[in-house]
Chains A and B, each alone.
Chain A
């Protein structure tokens, strides 16, 4: 075969891969196939031959435009399997294709990114070693067979995948298995991003932040990721945005909606931090390099910057109520950010905000905008706490021990996730990450460290059964509150929490996608539980809150104006 020779050239190999890749991207999508005689067939792209001739197979094809020559295809009848030979094809047009590169791979989590990177490289190696041409010819043969009997489609596509399958499956954990909707797909990915980011930030850079000034550590971590991601990222995305504001813009590109939120946050932060905090700026300088995939990082950064100013203020003004105030404030800020963002994303979400206190409204919008919201909450509570610690110092002594538990918890939850389906894993870990901030709060406020372990298991279970999980989850909360807090708290907490419960399932149904619903909903539930916790705190915190509220407002400017009219 002449192709063997060709394939030996490196560039040529790439080209073929590009074609292969592009072809695979349109599998299962509706395409228009223009034929030599001018007729157009519309159908679902099934497979293509990569042998000498580039014939394709359509499923459920219809003749949409009659050409000059008469085909044996009736106008209007549906052909279950239509094989179009290469000689007849003029062009194949697929509309609205979402390239994994643009939409998904860009969002691929650290896990995925790594997986994908190894993916690509190893596949290259495999290709070069195994004489790619051979492999492809094998594949081609398969696809040829498919031409004959079109039912083998799975075989062919898997055959194509064989070159990668080994490496892909690692990455495949993350993406939901049944993807109906591309956006959902992204969400899933982003969740993944989140988690990995969170692990990095909470595990490593949190330490850095505990020291307060010590951003460099976090930066180093980020750089590590940077290298991973840079390989992943296309040069264009990486470079051009760098010149400007950095990663956020670039992020906004690939995924318009979701990323906008990210973009908003950092911008708001940079406004704040410009005069006030030099370090966050430095972070940003570093981050543009790490770019794109670092969206969660960006969020972390923004959140942390937020939390810093707020933390400063209470530490000065409210010495006695420090523990409570900082706890309450930092989550609240982040959440209000969320809500404002969510508001911009989908105005409908805002509806929920007026009826409830901030945290509630914040998380409520978080539900509809699935992923983008999903990772923010997880980052937000954790980072502020970490940032808080150094400044508060002694009063939080119990807490400093808690962050050390971050990693253990995440491990635990991650293990639980492993038992579930593949896609659950990110979710579970996500929840785990959620759970972490809560223990922090509790330990901080009530010095009841035991509360933390109590929460983790219910979380993991709640993944499996969303609503039960809620119930289970809440009760421990209230119990914990009751002993430490006055009876009022429990009373106030329960009525507050029950309406939330009612609300969340609804949103899950409407917002989360079909397949993802099962999986993703739990994290929201988890997210929703935080607010449950929060209202119970509110009664105690009331004195600190008014003092705190003015603080975020000047800081965040427009974001908060939308939130607090």
Chain B
């Protein structure tokens, strides 16, 4: 089924990629990959190779294709008639992904060293921690400021303070050991 890709902004107007073509494509950014043309529109949309039910989808603008070679022709990868989308699942998926991403993002300290981040990650395995700028806040009361040594631990009840110090030292040792083993 040949397709129509007239108009649009791509430089290859007039040349169409037929749906289902297996192509090896080089992009202007120097990337090279194989794929099957799923649909061709303003950008050409290349469907990545299929691995089982999961595949990689690539939406590639046709004018960033430097060169390509035809590997073969396969059947249409996408039959629009049987497309089925569950909106709820999409929404749920995105919500979940965003929540996850936000949670992950919160865990990343801004303007901190890699070491500080690794200490944070290590602490987070045992204690509830969050970033307050560059200060690691443990259990919402104990603050560990740069350079994140045992001396830097302040605040909180003595028990909590000691606990954090202990964990911090242990985690530091562990990190050093890991670094040394590498």
Q: Which residues of A contact B (CB under 8 A)?
A: 2, 6, 9, 11-12, 14-19, 21-30, 34, 38, 43-44, 46, 54, 59-60, 76-78, 89-105, 108, 112, 116-117, 119-121, 124, 153-154, 157-158, 161, 164-165, 168, 171-172, 175-180, 182, 185, 231-236, 253-256
Name the one of B64, B75, B84, B90 contacting A104, with C-beta atoms under 8 angstroms: B84
Name the one of A93, A105, A119, A168 contacting B56, with C-beta atoms under 8 angstroms: A93
Task: Flag the segment in B41-49, B125-133, B151-159, B170-178 that touches A.
Answer: B41-49
CB neighbours (8 Å) of A38 from chain B are 29
Q: Does B39 touch A at the CB level, under 8 Å?
A: yes
Q: Does B3 touch A at the CB level, under 8 Å?
A: yes
Q: Does B70 touch A at the CB level, under 8 Å?
A: no
Name the one of A89, A97, A101, A158 contacting B57, with C-beta atoms under 8 angstroms: A97
- Distance of B65 from chain A, by nearest CB (Å): 10
Closest B residue to A105 by CB, please name it: B84
Name the one of B79, B82, B94 contacting A44, with C-beta atoms under 8 angstroms: B94
CB neighbours (8 Å) of A76 from chain B are 108, 110
- Distance of A169 from chain B, by nearest CB (Å): 9
Name the one of A12, A23, A234, A256 contacting B52, with C-beta atoms under 8 angstroms: A256
- Decide: B27 and A90 in contact? CB cutoff 8 A: yes
CB neighbours (8 Å) of B28 from chain A are 90
- Decide: B83 and A17 in contact? CB cutoff 8 A: yes
CB neighbours (8 Å) of A171 from chain B are 84, 86
The distance in angstroms between the C-alpha atoms of A28 and B76, with both chains bound, is 25
- Decide: A77 and B87 in contact? CB cutoff 8 A: no
Given contacts A59-B101, A175-B89, 10 further A-B contacts (CB under 8 A): A27-B93, A28-B95, A89-B59, A90-B27, A90-B29, A92-B57, A95-B48, A116-B84, A168-B86, A176-B89
- Decide: B61 and A90 in contact? CB cutoff 8 A: yes
The distance in angstroms between the C-alpha atoms of A487 and B19, with both chains bound, is 70
Q: Which residues of B contact A (CB under 8 A)?
A: 1, 3-7, 19, 27-29, 31, 38-43, 45, 47-48, 50, 52-61, 64, 75-76, 78-98, 101-102, 105, 108, 110
Q: A21-B83, A90-B61, A105-B82 are in contact. Are A16 and B41 (CB under 8 A)?
A: yes
Name the one of B53, B56, B64, B81 contacting A231, with C-beta atoms under 8 angstroms: B81
CB neighbours (8 Å) of A172 from chain B are 86-88
Closest B residue to A36 by CB, please name it: B64
* Inter-chain residue pair count (beta carbon < 8 A): 218
Interface pairs (18), CB distance under 8 Å:
A6-B4, A21-B78, A22-B47, A24-B85, A28-B91, A60-B101, A90-B61, A92-B57, A95-B56, A97-B57, A102-B50, A120-B82, A157-B91, A158-B87, A171-B84, A179-B93, A236-B75, A256-B52
Name the one of A9, A16, A28, A120 contacting B93, with C-beta atoms under 8 angstroms: A28
The distance in angstroms between the C-alpha atoms of A542 and B101, with both chains bound, is 58
Closest A residue to B105 by CB, please name it: A78
Closest A residue to B46 by CB, please name it: A91
- Decide: B43 and A54 in contact? CB cutoff 8 A: yes
- Decide: A78 and B108 in contact? CB cutoff 8 A: yes
- Decide: B41 and A15 in contact? CB cutoff 8 A: yes
CB neighbours (8 Å) of A17 from chain B are 80, 83
Name the one of A18, A180, A182, A185 contacting B38, with C-beta atoms under 8 angstroms: A18
Closest A residue to B117 by CB, please name it: A76
CB neighbours (8 Å) of A182 from chain B are 54
- Decide: A28 and B60 in contact? CB cutoff 8 A: no
- Distance of B100 from chain A, by nearest CB (Å): 9
- Decide: A25 and B57 in contact? CB cutoff 8 A: yes
Closest A residue to B110 by CB, please name it: A77
Q: Please list the 7 inter-chain residue pairs (A to B) with the smallest Cβ-Cβ separation, ordered nearest first.
A: A28-B94, A60-B101, A18-B39, A28-B93, A103-B53, A179-B89, A91-B60
- Decide: A98 and B54 in contact? CB cutoff 8 A: yes
The distance in angstroms between the C-alpha atoms of A94 and B93, with both chains bound, is 14
- Decide: A100 and B83 in contact? CB cutoff 8 A: yes
CB neighbours (8 Å) of A77 from chain B are 110
CB neighbours (8 Å) of A98 from chain B are 53-54
CB neighbours (8 Å) of A43 from chain B are 101
Q: Most chain-B CB neighbours within 10 Å: which of A9, A54, A90, A185? A: A90
Q: Most chain-A CB neighbours within 10 Å: which of B31, B75, B101? A: B101
The distance in angstroms between the C-alpha atoms of A231 and B5, with both chains bound, is 27
The distance in angstroms between the C-alpha atoms of A167 and B53, with both chains bound, is 25
CB neighbours (8 Å) of B55 from chain A are 96-97, 99, 102
- Decide: B93 and A29 in contact? CB cutoff 8 A: yes
- Decide: B64 and A14 in contact? CB cutoff 8 A: no
Q: A19-B45, A78-B105, A105-B82 are in contact. Are A93 and B57 (CB under 8 A)?
A: yes
The distance in angstroms between the C-alpha atoms of A54 and B42, with both chains bound, is 8
Name the one of B5, B50, B79, B94 contacting A27, with C-beta atoms under 8 angstroms: B94
The distance in angstroms between the C-alpha atoms of A29 and B97, with both chains bound, is 7
The distance in angstroms between the C-alpha atoms of A539 and B79, with both chains bound, is 55
CB neighbours (8 Å) of A11 from chain B are 1, 3-4
- Decide: A101 and B82 in contact? CB cutoff 8 A: yes
- Distance of B14 from chain A, by nearest CB (Å): 16
Name the one of A2, A89, A105, A255 contacting B83, with C-beta atoms under 8 angstroms: A105
CB neighbours (8 Å) of B47 from chain A are 22
Name the one of A105, A185, A232, A233 contacting B89, with C-beta atoms under 8 angstroms: A185
CB neighbours (8 Å) of B50 from chain A are 102
- Decide: A26 and B57 in contact? CB cutoff 8 A: yes
- Decide: B7 and A6 in contact? CB cutoff 8 A: yes
CB neighbours (8 Å) of B96 from chain A are 28, 180
- Decide: A92 and B59 in contact? CB cutoff 8 A: yes
- Decide: A100 and B85 in contact? CB cutoff 8 A: yes
The distance in angstroms between the C-alpha atoms of A11 and B38, with both chains bound, is 13
Name the one of A94, A121, A157 contacting B90, with C-beta atoms under 8 angstroms: A157
Q: A76-B110, A90-B61 are in contact. Are A153 and B94 (CB under 8 A)?
A: yes
- Decide: B92 and A179 in contact? CB cutoff 8 A: yes
CB neighbours (8 Å) of A234 from chain B are 75-76, 79, 82
CB neighbours (8 Å) of B87 from chain A are 157-158, 161, 165, 168, 172
Q: Most chain-B CB neighbours within 10 Å: which of A54, A112, A165? A: A54
The distance in angstroms between the C-alpha atoms of A423 and B120, with both chains bound, is 41
Closest A residue to B88 by CB, please name it: A177
CB neighbours (8 Å) of A23 from chain B are 59
